[in-house]
Every structure is written in structure tokens, then in C-alpha cells.
Amino acid sequence: MFILNVNNINSSKSQSENFEIKQQDEIQSAHWSCKSISIFTAHAWSGTDHYSFALVSDNISHDKYCINNCITYVIKKMQKKLPSLEEILFFSDGAASQFKQRYLIRNLARMSNNFSFLLSWHFFATSHAKGVVDGIGGTAVDFVNIAKSKTKVIIIDEITQEDIDKSTSELHSFFSNTASVKNMQKLHSITVLRQDTIECRLYDYSDEKWTVHF
């Protein structure tokens, strides 16, 4: 089993913003024409093993297809590093546009079946999700232009638009008939039971639970 803490596309100011590429000696007018990129950060640990990720993309939509690519990338990397891996516990903030939404939950069930892993997702309380992934994002933002050649501590890679377009074509029809999830914005714990079924709880320790069939 390993625990994976993921973060929304990160920036130097806010999780809802993108990172703006700046030139060291830019002229004043350049302030209004900066190119933006997005950075998806994650930190995984299993026992004493720790792995940090910063995935950079020109795509700044932060949509379900982009998130799918980022999560899939991390899972595949961890499969190679931990061949005996059987279970993954995800932790994240409750950003509705990226994580706390029915599309990600249904996709989690699909991934559980495809990778043959036990998967669950746990959401932090609002404004209580600061942690190691924020440090990863800050480091990647500070060194985004040179980090890949200068650091081996954080695994840095690119999620291309081609990758995201491929996810869109593969998953568009899959997402089109996704059922709503009861109390989506209130629940904090989701566990995949089968390819088309998830179990929901308001909190990890809640006795009350309900299932959703997709």
C-alpha cells in the first residue's frame, strides 16, 4: 500500500491560478503578455520510501482529462518503482473543478479495474490541505526552467496537449452519462468497490455509508 497526496494545479500564489513564465529582465509591457503553464504536484510514500512529482503542462484548463493524465502518469511510475503495489490511498483538497466531482470518482473506479488496485480517495477539510505537495509546487515554480537538469529529488515531466487530447477522445463518451453522487460536496471518503460501484462516507470513520452505481 502507498499513500498519494495530490494537489490542484499549483502556482506561487493560489491553487486556482496558473504559473506565469517571467523573464529576468523583462520590459514593463511584458507584464501583460506572460505565458501561463500549469503544474500538477503529488507526493507518494510507502513505508520509508518517498516520491515527489511535478508535472508541467501548457494546458491550463485544469479539467478532468488533464487530471486523468496526471494521475495515470503517477500511478504508472509507482507501478514500476513498487512492483508489489496493491492499494493506493489518495488525499487531496476539495477543489470541485479538479477533484471533488463525480467525473473523477467514476474515473477512479475505472482506474481501479484497469490497474487492478484497491483505490480510495480522501478529501481534506476546506482550507486545511497544506502539506508536502505545496512545498513541491513552490520548489518547482522557483526552478521550473532548470529543475529537470538540477534536481533528482522531484520527478519532473511534461504532460503534453497530445496526451490530453488522447484522454479526451477516449473518455468523452465514458463521462457523458456519469450519474451524480449524493452529498458530493459534503463527503470526505470514497472507496472503490467494483468497476461501476463506489462506497461513500461523510468521514473515514463514519458509520453511515451509501453506494453509488454508475
DSSP 39-64: EEEEEEEETTEEEEEEEEES-----H
132 pLDDT exceeds 60? no
Whether 201 is covered by a domain: the verdict is: yes
Q: Note down the domain range covering 203.
A: 2-10+36-213
Whether 110 is covered by a domain: the verdict is: yes
**Sequence-ordered alpha helix ranges (H) in the chain:** 64-81, 102-115, 132-142, 147-150, 161-176
The CATH number that applies at residue 79 is 3.30.420
Percent of the chain's residues with pLDDT above 70? 71
Whether 20 is covered by a domain: the verdict is: no
pLDDT digits (tens, 9 = 90+) for 60-98: 888 999 999 999 999 999 999 888 888 999 988 888 888
- Domains in the chain, number: 1
Whether 21 is covered by a domain: the verdict is: no
More confident position, 144 or 79: 79
150 pLDDT exceeds 60? no
pLDDT for res 96 = 83
